[in-house]
Amino acid sequence: MADTPLQGLGKEPPPSGVEREASISEILLGSAKEAVLRVQEYSYLAAQSVANLFSRPHYVQDTLDQMDSIGVGSLPIVLLTGFFIGAVMVLQTASQFVRFGQTSLTGDAVALALVRELGPTLTSLLVTGRCASGIASELGSMLVTEQVDAMRAMGTDPSRKLVTPRVVATVLVVPLLTTMSDFIGLVGGCVAAVFSLRLGVVQFWTRAIDALEFSDIMQGMLKSIVFAFILSTVGCYKGLTVRGGTQGVGRSTTQAVVISSVLIIVADTFLTKLALYLANKVF
């Protein structure tokens, strides 16, 4: 605890009974400082998780374990959701295209929407719900039961052992999950187009593939990598800053999902703008 200015001058602070209440401006200033401090702590953790890649030791087995847990574990929900999102996209877009007699365009629309936007965003949000919460609760539980301290006491850097493997694993598997989600979404769209709009399978796939450009795929991949980094680092940060025992673990878990989801959607806006700019300039 820092000394008060009065103590620094060798004077006694006022007795606790006569302390004045903090004004609104002081409360706001305190909250702003707190928020800046948290952003600083989060930025440090995120930067450290990347910096750890450039020096030893590396925890390859932990990274593979996390890839299995995050990637393979999330695969069923990602595929199931992707299939139905693709199908519903076809039904929704077809209801508009049918007015102009252009139902054949549904393949184009679904492919672009899935690969550019829905694939990475929805996959990341699903992984956030499943894994950011899991990471936060796992690390939070380790913190409150002193396992993180035990790790430090045995000479292990928790940032290397706990954070970096989770971040690397998430960044590697979310783009893969997104790719699979995109494909299965197109399969779902195809099924809906064939049975609902009476479109041919070849016609749907030809239009869908022709509509896609390299920049669309890059846009989707860029987004999924950034979203994966956000959800894993926020999960780790909320887990390693748990306060208040098991109740705090629950609170941090919820916050990890909420903050990650909001940041992903906010980042999506800026990344879309950036990707469109790069598509025009570079590709």
Partner 1 sequence: MEATISFRDVRLGFEEGDVVHDLSFEVYPRETLVLLGETGTGKTLSLKMAAGLMRPQQGEVNVLGRRVSTMSETELLAFRREIGFVFQEGALFDSLTVEENVAYRLREEHVAEEEIDPKVREALRFVELEHAIDLVPSELSGGMRRRVSIARALITRPPIVLYDSPTAGLDPVTSQTIIALILRLRDTYGVTALLATHRLQDGFALANFYFDAASNRVMPNSKKAKGKGETDSNTRFAVLRDGKVFFEGSTEQMAAVKDSYLKRFLV
- Report the C-alpha gap between 175 and 180 in whole angstroms: 9
What is the C-alpha to C-alpha distance for residues 277 and 281, in angstroms, rounded to an integer? Answer: 6
The answer to whether residue 6 forms part of the interface with partner 1 (CB under 8 A) is no
Binding to partner 1 by residue 10, rule CB under 8 A? no
Q: Which of 24, 154, 202, 282 binds partner 1 (CB under 8 A)?
A: 154
Segment interacting with partner 1 (CB under 8 A) among 30-38, 102-110, 153-161, 267-275? 153-161
Q: Does 150 bind partner 1 (CB under 8 A)?
A: yes
Instruction: Give the nearer residue to partner 1 in terms of CB position, either 5 or 155.
Output: 155
The answer for residues whose C-beta is within 8 angstroms of residue 175's C-beta and 6 or more apart is 221, 224, 225, 228
CA distances from 101 to 104, 112, 166, 194, 197 (A): 8, 20, 49, 16, 11
Q: In whole angstroms, give the CA distance from residue 213 to residue 275.
A: 13
CA 184-190-194 angle, 5° bins: 150
Cα angle 197-111-77, degrees, rounded to a multiple of 5: 95
Tell me the DSSP string of 135-151: HHHHHHHHHHTTHHHHH
With respect to partner 1, which residue has the nearer C-beta, 10 or 155? 155
How far apart, in Å, are the Cα atoms of 61 and each of 46, 87, 138, 237?
A: 21, 38, 18, 22
Binding of residue 145 to partner 1 (CB under 8 A): yes
| 104 to 143: interface string for partner 1, x by CB under 8 A | --------------------------------------x-
Q: Is 54 in the site for partner 1 (CB under 8 A)?
A: no
Residue from 75, 80, 117, 157 binding partner 1 (CB under 8 A): 157
Total of chain residues touching partner 1, rule CB under 8 A:
15
- The window from 123-131, 155-163, 191-199, 260-268 that contacts partner 1 (CB under 8 A) reads 155-163
- Comparing CB distances to partner 1, the nearer of 147 and 203 is 147
Nearer to partner 1, 67 or 94 (CB): 67
76 in contact with partner 1 (CB under 8 A): no
Sole binder of partner 1 in the list 19, 155, 198, 202 (CB under 8 A): 155
The residue type of 279 is A
Q: Name the one range near partner 1 by CB under 8 A: 109-117, 144-152, 224-232, 265-273.
A: 144-152
CA nearest to 196, candidates 80, 122, 76, 110: 110
Q: With contact defined as beta carbons under 8 Å apart, do 42 and 233 qualify?
A: yes
**Candidate residues 41, 149, 210, 213; the one interacting with partner 1 per rule CB under 8 A:** 149
Q: Which residues bind partner 1 (CB under 8 A)?
A: 1, 57, 142, 145-147, 149-157
